[in-house]
Structure 1
């Protein structure tokens, strides 16, 4: 339940369209549902504007299904990250319109329309190996109610490719720059645009990449002002933050 839905409920009580008892029944499960193995936070959308996100990695398929069913009852849009095809098939068995995005390893269910800003977010990658993390960012931003443009494989090894797409990058409200190897893409873009840049280091790279630690440190030490950094391979975190900025 979001602020608008809560306001509508209270207006129905005020106008005697529903009883106080009915309203209390609707509100009883508002804070969270205790499933035994999880406490699903239904109040989060009311507090923060976005519903709870399901981090599927480490959970059993049965637990993910239980959380999804609880959220479906509340009419929420649903995003599950780091999800498997087995989880998707289990949800599809009782809710056929669920979507699975194999590159991003995300599950999405859209139950209600959102107000989408006229501005857009652009997701830029250094190479094609960074696309899975980039897609996690892009799909996160889309399910949270944003228009997203994708500019992939424009890394610094062929920087002319980046300049060929600079207009669409500069036109965005916020830029997500996803790169592995040495992670220079975030700094380069940060020096070319006047909008916030969210840099995402990936674990793509050879030995001294140290599983993403090298680009993480490069991005943290960027001399381009206006560039912020999320954790290694955290496309979700970048997409969520970009959505918050785009909705300001």
Structure 2
């Protein structure tokens, strides 16, 4: 019994340690993981923000066109079976590939994200990191307890991508708060097993290793004011602070090379800014 408990703890720690700052500092000189280095936030972009917007809008237009045929209030209840296949068909039609969550090829990682259809070309927006956005000065202590899904941006902004527990409740509350009349300004379906935005699974992309190098990288993306209001309902992010004056922060995953069907996505949890 004790051996099983210790083994479960070992596997959890092996997965979580790459997000634990003291461990990272102590192991920074080791060559266990591939390190990603940039000279500053302005250089931490593989593609321009305009290209990210173009990729997202390609998908959102197809999804929005389909939503016109479905009563908005019942959309999520119908995203099963045929509609699940429809979402992936929409993704393939607009982007040329599909991704989905499946058991990872890493024995300790649990869930991973795979390309299931088509080819992802270098520089494509492959996935989005969903969650509640916290500015560097905002409290996140309770939400961060036993939470391996807190993503830290270069400027200290945090994104809580946990789809369970208190993190889930906070996100749903903030999303409902930010409605503008008939317009929904964020997506909550990423909290379910079938998000209506099929890109919103980036929090399940696992860390790379020397044996499995990264094929995608994180890129910060501030949603421009010109982003169409009717498409904001597919953005899987919401500000914790209702009075935030900053643009909505999103983090997307961009492909570092061509990725073919059957491959698992691997990102890099380490980015060193000089």
TM beyond 0.5:
no
Q: Which gives a bigger RCO, structure 1 or 2 (Cα 8 Å, sep 6+)? A: 2
Hey, which of these two has a bigger chunk of strand by percent?
A: 2
User: TM-score of the superposition, structure 1-length normalised?
Assistant: 0.25
User: TM-score of the superposition, structure 2-length normalised?
Assistant: 0.23
